[in-house]
Amino acid sequence: MDALLVLEDGTVFRGRSFGATGERTGEVVFNTGMTGYQEILTDPSYRGQMVVMTYPHIGNTGVNDQDPESVGPHVRGLIVRDMSPRESSWRARQTLDRYLRDHEIMALTDVDTRALTRHTRNYGAMRGVISTTDLHPDSLRQKALAAPTTSDEDLVAQVTCPEPYEWTEPVDEAWREPGGEAQVVEGKARPHVVAYDCGLKRNILRQLVSSGCRVTVVPAHIPAADVLALHPDGVFLSNGPGDPQNVPYTVESVRALLGRVPVFGICLGHQILALALGGRIYKLKFGHHGSNHPVKDVRTAKIAITAQNHNFAVDMGSLEDEAELTHINLYDSTVEGMRCRHLPAFSVQYHPEAAPGPHDASPLFQDFVKLMTGG
């Protein structure tokens, strides 16, 4: 079935529909990963967005029961160059097309994704609409312009868990990095981590468990007093979608927790920590989405290849008295990590849980354990 993608600036891309039919709006971003489309689809951080995959051939390994990072897909649309109609993997349970139809997610194939990526890189991420029902570019452009931006909605409220729960599943042994076993001292209690769910990915929780932690997950709106009542040894701030300035309730809770308990933040959690410290956040031109971003540890000069998925960044100049820079992005020199000067708290902008992505940064979870245990 013919379909159109029209951006808010009027640029038109033609393709064929797969997945669900109808019409969807969202912010169009591109992801440079060669693999991991199932994890990308189910990453809550993509709420409100339509993802363009720069790797041309998508869907060839189908969809399985092991790789989802949440209960289901969160993207508003998927745009690819060439969708494979058949799956070829011993783990596959269904095709990508069927999976998207079952979850009512629209997708386009036969799109010139190279031109679309270049356009986004040159002019910035913008709203778009994909449609199989309205094939009039002028009409679709007006719908794109009327759609909310990711700063207009509290997207975290749409993806956070409804109530607290315990998580006990570790990383699958087949995927564990050699030497990555938890260093648990016999007879010593496992450190208790309370994880704020702003759009948590499951592999973050698995990594915490495999690092020797006992994990309780709480909704993003839980106040600090309720978290402290759980007697945590540390608090984790998760990834999540949208503008961190739209979750002042979480920022306020983190501000009240700082100095009371060690804190570790990833992605949106990194930005929330910066806001809690009084820092500033700004939106990137087209964001970082992919599994091949080089990050430099400014303390050791070591380079890690990292997975990333974010549209906002921390202004380190607004935090000079509160935090020090620990990591920078080698593509654009944006802030990738910081550590508080006077408090037991640190954060990174990238994703050390590697789902999908490299394992270079996985030792950060053990760093958090050491911060909690004094190791």
What pLDDT tens digit does each residue of the chain (375 aa) get? 899 999 999 999 999 999 999 999 999 999 999 999 999 999 999 999 999 999 999 999 999 999 999 999 999 999 999 999 999 999 999 999 999 999 999 999 999 999 999 999 999 999 999 999 999 999 999 999 999 999 999 999 999 999 999 999 999 876 665 555 555 444 468 999 999 999 999 999 999 999 999 999 999 999 999 999 999 999 999 999 999 999 999 999 999 999 999 999 999 999 999 999 999 999 999 999 999 999 999 999 999 999 999 999 999 999 999 999 999 999 999 999 999 999 999 999 999 998 888 888 889 999 999 999 987
pLDDT score for 175: 63
**Is 351 among the residues known to form the active site?**
yes
β-strands 214-219, 192-197 pairing: parallel
pLDDT score for 186: 47
Q: Could you say which of 267, 289, 293, 310 is catalytic?
A: 267
Q: What are the distances in angstroms from CA 223 to CA 163, 227, 250, 256?
A: 13, 7, 8, 9
Ramachandran sector of residue 179 (left: φ over 0; alpha: ψ -120 to 50; beta: rest):
left
Largest CA distance in the chain: 68
User: pTM for the complete prediction?
Assistant: 0.94
Q: How far is CA 75 from the centre of its chain?
A: 11
pLDDT score for 185: 44
Residues of the chain with CATH 3.40.50.880: 156-373
Q: How far apart are CA 45 and CA 40, in angstroms?
A: 9
Q: How far apart are CA 229 and CA 224, in angstroms?
A: 9
**Is 153 among the residues known to form the active site?**
no
pLDDT score for 184: 47
Amino acid at 144: A
Q: How far apart are CA 82 and CA 102, in angstroms?
A: 20
Residue recorded with tokens 């260093």: 183
Number of other residues whose CB lies within 10 A of the CB of residue 294:
14
- Closest to 17 (Cα-Cα) out of 32, 5, 2: 2
Number of residues in the chain: 375
Instruction: List alpha helices for 258-298, DSSP H.
Output: 268-276
Phi and psi for 228 in degrees, rounded to 5?
A: -65, -30
Residue range 156-373, CATH number: 3.40.50.880
Which residues, including other chains, have CB under 8 Å from residue 345's CB and lie 6 or more apart?
A: 258, 262, 263, 264, 265, 273, 339
215 and 191 Cβ atoms separated by less than 8 Å = no
- Closest to 112 (Cα-Cα) out of 140, 85, 80: 80
First to last CA, the chain: 59
Residue range 2-146, CATH number: 3.50.30.20
Crossing angle of helices 268-276 and 248-257, rounded to 10°: 70
List % helix, strand, coil for the chain (3-state, nearest 5).
25, 30, 45
Q: Could you say which of 119, 270, 310, 351 is catalytic?
A: 351
Residues of the chain with CATH 3.50.30.20: 2-146
